[in-house]
Amino acid sequence: MTGERDRVGSAIILAGGKSSRMGRPKAMLSFGEEPLVKLVIRGLATLFPDIVVVAAPGQELPELPVTLVRDEVAYQGPVGGLCYGLRECRSAAAFVTSCDVPFLSLPLVSHLAARLPGHDVVVPHWEGRLQPLHAVYRRSVLPLLERQLERGELRPVFLFDKVRTLKLEEDEIRALDPDGWSFFNMNTPDDYECALARWRAATDGAARPAAGRCEVELFGVARLRARTSRVSVELPESATLAHVWSALARKLPVLVGPVLTEAADGLTAGHVCNLNGRDFVRDGGRRVAPGDRVLLMSSDAGG
Amino acid sequence: MTVHGFHGRLLHVDLDSGRHQWREIGADRLRAFVGGIGLGTSLLYDFAPPGVEPLAPENPLVFASAPLAGTGLTTTAKYAVVTKSPLTGFIADSLSSSFFALALKAVGVDALVVTGRAPEPLCLFVGDGGVELRDARHLWGKSAADTENAVRAELEGAAVRVAAVGPAGENLVRFATISNEGRHAGRGGVGAVMGSKNLKAIALCGGKQVAVADPEGVAAAAASLRRRSLGTHTAKYREVGTVANLAVFDRLGALPARNFQQPTFDAADELSGESLTETSFSRRNGCASCTIRCERLFRASSGGEQRMEYETLFALGPLCGLEDREAVLEAARLCDAYGLDSISTGGTLAWAMECAERGLLPEAGGLRFGAAEAVLDAIPAIAERRGVGDLLAEGSRRAALALGRGSLDWAMQVKGLELPGYEPRSLKTMALGLAVSPRGACHNRSGAYEADFSGKVDRLDSAPPRGALVAASEDFGAALDSLIVCKFLRNCFQDFYAEAADLLAKVTGWDYSAAELRLAAERIHTLKRCFNEREGWRPEDDGLPPRVLTESLAAGVAQGTRLTRDELREMLRDYYQARGWREDGRVSEAKRKALGLPAKQAVSKLHPREATAPEIVIPAKAGIQAG
């Protein structure tokens, strides 16, 4: 368990950008039936109990189950948003992102959070550029950011030399997000069209017709990481355990890495499934019938 | 001859005479028995007069160090305590760990052997300046933790490390522990043996480092093991701790509750490790030199914090029908403070509860399943041998033999040692492991349950090759426990014997192969059986409690499952065959010879009072080809 001191329990979404080239507020771009900001919040809520959205004064937003804070002065750039967000967040550290990121990789976000111990900031270094709006910040850096704001240093990178900053290198990022789609953000209508096409392809693939459901009960590491003990997943015709794993990965991305393999096609070493309290199985080809109970647990029963 | 990784000597302290002696341990013995449990067993065999009474002065209490201790390798700060158990009359071989283990190595011995009985309570202090027997009358009655603090303050050394017994050990409770730094050499009553010697504490402080043969090789292996120790294999221990077993075992119908009358427990979710973690987690702790750090401390409503492990949680919770987690935390605190094995405490209390509910033990006060206050009253009474506590301090088997009236049928023990929290009827490989373990119903010296959780066998069925699986698990355990490496690292090895032998070679400079380590492991395990045979083992001692063999499981996914006497008989036959022992479970002369072990009738000529150091002659590389 990570101690309280190192717990990244908050996410801050900066939604107050100008969206000048897009021509309309990026937070409200539709993906499926919901605005992008909701999509981003839904994903991050599986990792963080505390979500803070920083919006511009008067900016239109749907009703959101989050802490909403308005920039005191509009358009002060990311450092302003960061300050307002960190002031409101309720844990020792926060993951910070912009709102126009439809392809956040939750395993990568989770990994950034896990790398915090011993650092104040964890920031990806992707294709030669630091990604300050896809980074984890300790709340303790707030006074430094406030001073930056006073001096007009509106770019977060000025902070990085002053505190213990871990620059996460590409190899480490590629293990979780091979093509870096996490860092794709949208500035023009063309970007939006491109994102929408990719998003539809991905979600269609995940939405095969369901033939039934099975219940997965999580134990140990899986339960504590997912913060839930039971999940019901839809099964296609002739479902196998591999279908259960991939459905589980979509519902609980936080399990990818610690419990499920990165490709969500297997269990990590040290974990095993049990079917209906009877058979222990690690083989993804094992058939799973609607109504089956899948127990997901540590394979080491030492006590 | 200098052997790297060892000091090549032991310290024998005789409390009858107050004298001590430094004695050589031959390289042959070290190579044949490695260290830890292996070395301790070998020394017990030679130092104990055959048929010795466990609580008699002559019963040796052996503290054995190991070749990997002090090397900095993760999880290796461990030591073994080996003696003849007052609970079982057979071998008691327990492990404990952390800084005391490092201190044992640092005082320049591979083993410390204590015999005799001091006329007054003593503390044995071994430092670089020599050996000192210090008055400990003022410490008598204190908990092990308070004793540890007091002794360290008296000796004014931050580097002094102390192992001690609490009141239970002083009062010869047959399942008393020896503790250091909040950890216990827990099973088999080693604390009663220490208490019987009037030895309240052992304090160690030394600076004798042992050189390893290949420092760079050891450092590289240490780095590799450390990295592997932080992978997903150990995530359960690092993120939840052993308490993670409880909820899982409940779902599998493998969580013994109410004295093994139920394999599930209604309050399993409230008591589960996950639930404790979410609501009461206080902090994580670990042994010296350990990267896994499996210990979990939980907040009690009283304001304090209490360490909790699965076995303690099971034994003081479901086994006794206790649903209230605060009561379980408090019961665990009492066991720690008095120095009681929590498994045997829970097992003996559960036996008494069933007796009371059947109207057989009127003096058992309010002991009933689920009666938290009665449990909290009974634990100190056991430790102080007050009232019915005096009977319960004998453990469930001896108490049942004293009470009679059929109560042995629900004394849930093997060879006198109370069962751990693994239901034998729904974990049938484990059932065999429990039946044949030399120290009684034990989940530590082997891990037969691993096969049941692997998916390679049907855990509800007893078909072969259960014997071979149990034998392999015992040998694996003997190797781990002798090197010593923590079991929680066991799945981090790709090829354990090859890697461990290589490690041993790098530490000692020996040309040690995987085959030699396998053979040593078999030798160590077999010597435990030879010791038991010498001390009166009979075939019926390899068994399971009548309840397990006559009642089917009453609830859960495995409801209705039985384990019959025929099934057990067949598994035993399979096991003895896999071991190459006689059909009745005795170790044949041929097997003894092949392993370089003493012949059956040979009574040791190596009594500790003799001047020459005891030696078992191991033929050079005995039988390696056969391994």
pLDDT tens per residue, range B412-471 = 999 999 999 999 999 999 999 999 999 999 999 999 999 999 989 999 999 999 999 999
Q: Is residue A177 part of a domain?
A: yes
Q: Is residue A228 part of a domain?
A: yes
pLDDT at B463: 93
Whether residues B447 and A295 touch (CB distance < 8 A) is answered with no
Cβ proximity of B244 and B274 under 8 Å: yes
pLDDT at A175: 81
Whether residues B232 and A1 touch (CB distance < 8 A) is answered with no
Residues B405 and B450 in one domain: no
Q: Which residues of A touch B477 (CB under 8 A)?
A: none
**Does residue A279 sit at the B interface (CB-CB below 8 Å)?**
yes
Q: Is residue B219 part of a domain?
A: no
Whether residues A280 and B453 touch (CB distance < 8 A) is answered with yes
**Does residue A2 sit at the B interface (CB-CB below 8 Å)?**
no
**Tokens 């871990």 belong to which residue?**
A166
d(CA B146, CA B136): 13
Cβ proximity of B507 and B67 under 8 Å: yes
Note which residues in 38-97 of chain A have CB less than 8 A from chain B: none
Q: Is residue B364 part of a domain?
A: yes
Residues A150 and A224 in one domain: no
Residues B434 and B478 in one domain: yes
- Which range marks the domain in which residue A254 is found? 212-298
Q: Which of B326, B329, B313 has the alpha carbon at shortest distance from B268?
A: B313
Residues B151 and B49 in one domain: yes
Residue ranges for chain B with pLDDT beneath 70: 1-2, 601-627
How many H-runs (helices) and E-runs (strands) does chain B carry?
A: 25, 17
B/e letters for B239-249, b = 16+ CB within 10 Å, e = fewer, are bbbbbbbbbbb
Whether residues B236 and A221 touch (CB distance < 8 A) is answered with yes
With residue B38 as reference, give the H or E element that holds it: helix B36-47
Query: Smallest CA–CA separation between B73 and chain A, in Å?
Result: 21
Picking from A204, A224, A256, the residue at the C-terminal end of a domain is A204
Q: Is residue A194 part of a domain?
A: yes
Of B233, B240, B449, nearest to A301 by CB-CB distance is B449
Whether residues B248 and A298 touch (CB distance < 8 A) is answered with yes
Residues B265 and B351 in one domain: yes
Whether residues B242 and A303 touch (CB distance < 8 A) is answered with yes
Question: Taking each helix axis from N to C terminus, what angle separates B342-357 and B325-338, rounded to the nearest 10 degrees?
Answer: 120
d(CA B96, CA B287): 10
d(CA B426, CA B560): 10
Picking from A152, A174, A204, the residue at the C-terminal end of a domain is A204
**Does residue A301 sit at the B interface (CB-CB below 8 Å)?**
yes
Q: Which residues of B touch A1 (CB under 8 A)?
A: 239, 277, 281, 284
Residues B407 and B428 in one domain: no
pLDDT at B412: 98
d(CA A114, CA B312): 31
Whether residues B284 and A1 touch (CB distance < 8 A) is answered with yes
Residues A263 and A126 in one domain: no
Residues A225 and A122 in one domain: no
In chain A, the number of structural domains is 2
Distances (CA, A) of B384 to A83, B340, B377, B378: 61, 11, 11, 10
Residues B256 and B145 in one domain: no
Q: Is residue A259 part of a domain?
A: yes
- Which range marks the domain in which residue B66 is found? 9-205
**Does residue A300 sit at the B interface (CB-CB below 8 Å)?**
yes
Residues B63 and B167 in one domain: yes
Peptide bond into A143 cis (omega under 30): no
DSSP letter, residue A287: B
Q: Which of B86, B186, B144 has the alpha carbon at shortest distance from B394?
A: B86
pLDDT tens column, B371-404: 999 999 999 999 999 999 999 999 999 999 999 9
pLDDT at A205: 53
Of B240, B251, B453, nearest to A224 by CB-CB distance is B240
Residues A88 and A179 in one domain: yes
CATH of the domain at A240: 3.10.20.30
d(CA A29, CA A187): 12
Residues B132 and B30 in one domain: yes
CATH of the domain at A45: 3.90.550.10
**Does residue A217 sit at the B interface (CB-CB below 8 Å)?**
yes
Q: How many CA atoms lie within 13 A of A264 on its CB side?
A: 18
* pLDDT tens for chain A, residues 1 to 303: 456 788 899 999 999 887 888 888 899 999 888 899 998 998 898 888 899 999 988 888 888 889 999 887 776 788 999 999 999 999 999 999 999 999 998 889 988 998 999 999 999 998 888 999 999 999 999 999 999 989 888 888 899 999 999 999 988 898 888 888 899 888 888 889 888 888 887 776 555 556 789 999 999 999 999 999 999 998 988 899 999 999 999 999 999 999 999 999 999 999 999 999 999 999 999 999 999 999 999 999 998
pLDDT at B606: 39
**Tokens 């920039």 belong to which residue?**
A71
